Chains A and B, each alone.
Chain A
Amino acid sequence: DTEVTQTPKHLVMGMTNKKSLKCEQHMGHRAMYWYKQKAKKPPELMFVYSYEKLSINESVPSRFSPECPNSSLLNLHLHALQPEDSALYLCASSPVPWAGTGGYTEAFFGQGTRLTVV
């Protein structure tokens, strides 16, 4: 199983709603990532979890709240979003974090959740 599974595939939410995006992998990977991608732009890193601990937060607004309940699961909790937060949200995982040794590690990406905030 070399898949990263994201649910839901599509989500429409109002600005006062609370919703969550879910990401799951069963490859034994110990690093997981959230990226945000706007139309015709490259993916932008939001958060990195290494061994279930948050290691990188790219100054993401607090209306986005990540959670890593266990090594296989990554959530992104959404609250009070703005229409400009509409984007494709991508989850990825890798066997180990991008460590300081310069060693190679491959990241596997899910197919994303297409989020629309109305």
Chain B
Amino acid sequence: DAKTTQPPSMDCAEGRAANLPCNHSTISGNEYVYWYRQIHSQGPQYIIHGLKNNETNEMASLIITEDRKSSTLILPHATLRDTAVYYCIVRVDSGGSNYKLTFGKGTLLTVNP
């Protein structure tokens, strides 16, 4: 019951910007968009989150469209160590005032030398 859609895979040249898209057309007005990544055989790692405005931190930038139906994660200068599966996540209502993080299929980003 993931509420996001991402391309299954993308390639990027080392040193170039990686732009990872995500569709979340059913997102409600007060829901955040979260991005995590998972490097092979490691636990998922938080990258960034956003609500309406664009966000930037030391790892990445997040661009959210005005209608909030989609977003793009930008890694400005991709390195080989950025090769990972990137997950765009929106919180899911589990009922009884409980919510949960449900992972979609994610995008495998491969950074090539």
Secondary structure dominating the interface of B:
loop
Q: Give chain A residues whose Cβ lies under 8 Å from the Cβ of B98.
A: 48, 50, 55-56, 97-98
Chain A interface residue count, Cβ-Cβ cutoff 8 angstroms: 28
**Contacting pair B99 A43 (CB below 8 A):** no
A21 at the interface (CB under 8 A from B): no
- Please give me the residue from chain B that is nearest to A44 by CB atom: B103
State whether A43 and B100 are in contact (beta carbons under 8 Å apart), knowing that A90-B44, A102-B31, A106-B46 are contacts in the complex. no
Interface contact A102-B32, CB-CB below 8 Å: yes
**A112: CB under 8 A from chain B?**
yes
Chain A 75-118 residues near chain B, CB threshold 8 A: 88, 90, 92, 97-102, 104, 106-112, 114
Q: Which residues of B contact A42 (CB under 8 A)?
A: 2, 85, 87, 103-106
Q: Give the nearest-CB partner of A99 in chain B.
A: B99
A102 / chain B contacts, CB cutoff of 8 Å: 28, 30-32, 91
Instruction: Please give the residue numbers on chain A whose beta carbons come within 8 Å of chain B beta carbons, in ascending order.
Output: 4, 33, 42-45, 48, 50, 55-56, 88, 90, 92, 97-102, 104, 106-112, 114
